[in-house]
């Protein structure tokens, strides 16, 4: 269904209120999302966890956070199409701000896990609602620039999280800071309104936010699944190779491996991701293609996985530089979320754009499970071989999934999708 001319003319400026607020919101989102990886070791030690239990409990806690994002992605996605993108931006940030303040007060693993779960639910709504709003608020020739700004500003939140931790040297204060930043951001949300495209859909007598419709049509279902699969290599790299970089550094005999900090590795990785997001966004606009640039970055990412896992005996400086380049190699995140937003109609766009990245994040427990199986059962605790095999499998699956999706650069977003009809 094609809409007539929008009643509310969208802003032609790339730096409109929606882009600025969405970018700042994603900044705080990434700050809180990656903070656990940065403070993982120190926070668990402070709670009395030692030895191998630090790794095991770390995997458990990050899995709880990702389970929360999996559930939250569905919740916020449906609400985003039924109630509006703005309501999701408000509700999600309020929940994860409160949860992160509570995380600073925990004194048991059980409480830590519970509040990481709640934080995950809150964090799930920010990116999808923001990208959907930005994509609908800009003309098709410019929306790639808008989503690029949101992603590149947002991922720098991980660098900010590391710097704040370096300044405070207190994991509890870092959680408090994230919560306060989120609450302050709520005041900026007052300045933005819904897109004209969404307002138009509200007037239509049709199903909105029908999550189940993604599974009742074969073509739509596989399009949705392929959107998820193309993003999984990023979370294998960040959730396994970078988050557990101290363990990989020891296995690779990195010089002074005991000094490698997961927080610093995450900061370097996300600094690289900022440059990668800018590069992929610009290339996509210049070449007028999402898929072509996405292919390049997926291959680049696979190559960097092998470079990282074969870097035996390197210096700590070179190890961190590898983390930087690895981050750049997964700088396709901006393309990934933009592709998801462009694949489906307005009446289900927020559902898709919110659930897809969160299903990717929520796949981390499964990725860790598969990785752990190869590590402990197939390769007898050899984390290097396990990393190579799992990284290769996930990358090949992503490349195959990308080949099944259509190019969306020139797609107009002012259409609605019926539950019983797949848009093509």
Q: Quote the CA–CA distance of 132 and 208 in Å, as a whole number.
A: 14
Whether residue 102 has pLDDT greater than 90: yes
**pLDDT at res. 4:** 39
6 falls within a domain: no
**pLDDT at res. 9:** 42
pLDDT band at 209 (very low <50, low <70, confident <90, very high): low
- CATH code (residue 115): 1.20.1250.20
Note the pLDDT tens digit of each residue in 325-360.
999 999 888 788 889 888 887 778 888 888 898 888
44 falls within a domain: yes
Which spans in 255-382 are helix H? 262-287, 291-309, 316-329, 333-343, 346-362, 364-373
How many domains are contained in the chain? 1
411 falls within a domain: no
What secondary structure does DSSP assign to 70-137, as a single string? HHHHHHHHHHHHHT-HHHHHHHHHHHHHHHHHHHTT--SHHHHHHHHHHHHHHHTTHHHHHHHHHHHH
410 falls within a domain: no
43: containing domain: 17-403
- Highest mean pLDDT among 122-126, 211-215, 353-357, 370-374 belongs to 370-374
Q: Phi/psi of residue 370, each to 5°?
A: -65, -45
Q: Return the C-alpha torsion angle 264, 158, 337, 153, nearest 10.
A: -120
> Which has the higher per-residue pLDDT, 7 or 111?
111
Q: Quote the CA–CA distance of 305 and 172 in Å, as a whole number.
A: 33
Rounded to whole angstroms, what are the CA distances from 124 to 10, 97, 170? 26, 12, 26
DSSP state letter for 203: T
Rounded to whole angstroms, what are the CA distances from 45 to 48, 55, 67, 90, 295? 5, 11, 24, 34, 41
| Angle, alpha carbons 211-213-216 (nearest 5°) | 135
8 falls within a domain: no
416 falls within a domain: no
Q: Quote the CA–CA distance of 298 and 321 in Å, as a whole number.
A: 19
**pLDDT at res. 196:** 59
Calculate the average pLDDT of the chain. 84
Q: Quote the CA–CA distance of 249 and 243 in Å, as a whole number.
A: 11
Whether residue 1 has pLDDT greater than 50: no
424 falls within a domain: no
417 falls within a domain: no
DSSP state letter for 375: I
Note the pLDDT tens digit of each residue in 181-206.
888 888 776 666 655 565 565 556 66
Q: Averaged over 209-218, what is the pLDDT?
A: 80
What secondary structure does DSSP assign to 121-176, as a single string? HHHTTHHHHHHHHHHHHS-TTTHHHHHHHHHHHHHTHHHHHHHHHHHH--HHHHHH
């Amino acid at each position: 269904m094609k809409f007539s001319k929008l009643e509310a003319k969208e802003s032609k400026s790339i730096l409109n209120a929606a882009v600025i607020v969405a970018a700042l919101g994603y900044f705080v989102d990434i700050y809180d999302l990656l903070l656990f990886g940065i403070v993982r070791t120190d926070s668990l030690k402070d709670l009395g966890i030692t030895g191998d239990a630090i790794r095991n409990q770390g995997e458990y806690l990050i899995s709880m956070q990702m389970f929360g994002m999996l559930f939250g992605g569905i919740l916020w996605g449906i609400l985003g199409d039924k109630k509006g993108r703005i309501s999701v931006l408000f509700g999600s940030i309020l929940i994860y701000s409160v949860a992160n303040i509570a995380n600073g007060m925990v004194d048991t693993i059980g409480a830590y896990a519970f509040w990481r779960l709640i934080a995950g639910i809150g964090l799930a709504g920010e990116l999808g609602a923001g990208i959907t709003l930005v994509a609908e608020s800009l003309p098709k020739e410019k929306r790639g620039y808008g989503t690029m700004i949101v992603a590149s500003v947002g991922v720098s939140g991980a660098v900010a999280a590391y710097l704040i931790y370096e300044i405070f040297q207190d994991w509890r204060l870092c959680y408090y800071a994230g919560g306060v930043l989120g609450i302050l951001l709520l005041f900026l949300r007052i300045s933005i309104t819904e897109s004209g495209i969404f307002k138009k859909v509200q007037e239509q007598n049709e199903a909105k936010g029908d999550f189940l419709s993604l599974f009742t049509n074969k073509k739509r279902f596989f399009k949705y699944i392929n959107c998820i699969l193309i993003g999984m290599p990023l979370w294998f790299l960040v959730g396994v190779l970078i988050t557990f970089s101290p363990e990989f550094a020891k296995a690779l005999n990195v010089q002074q491996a005991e000094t490698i900090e997961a927080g610093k590795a995450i900061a370097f990785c996300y600094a690289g991701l900022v440059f990668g997001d800018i590069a992929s966004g610009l290339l996509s606009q210049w070449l007028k293609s999402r898929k072509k640039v996405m292919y390049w970055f997926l291959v680049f990412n696979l190559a960097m996985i092998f470079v990282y896992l074969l870097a035996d005996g390197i210096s700590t400086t070179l190890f961190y530089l590898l983390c930087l380049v690895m981050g750049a190699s997964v700088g396709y995140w901006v393309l990934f979320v933009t592709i998801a937003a462009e694949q489906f109609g307005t009446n289900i766009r927020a559902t898709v754009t919110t659930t897809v990245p969160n299903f990717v994040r929520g796949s981390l427990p499964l990725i860790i499970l598969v990785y752990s199986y190869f590590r402990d059962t197939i390769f007898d605790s050899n984390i290097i071989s396990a990393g190579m095999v799992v990284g290769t499998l996930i990358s090949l699956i992503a490349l195959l999934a990308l080949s099944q999706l259509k190019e969306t650069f020139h797609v107009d977003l002012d259409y609605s999708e019926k539950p019983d009809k797949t848009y093509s």
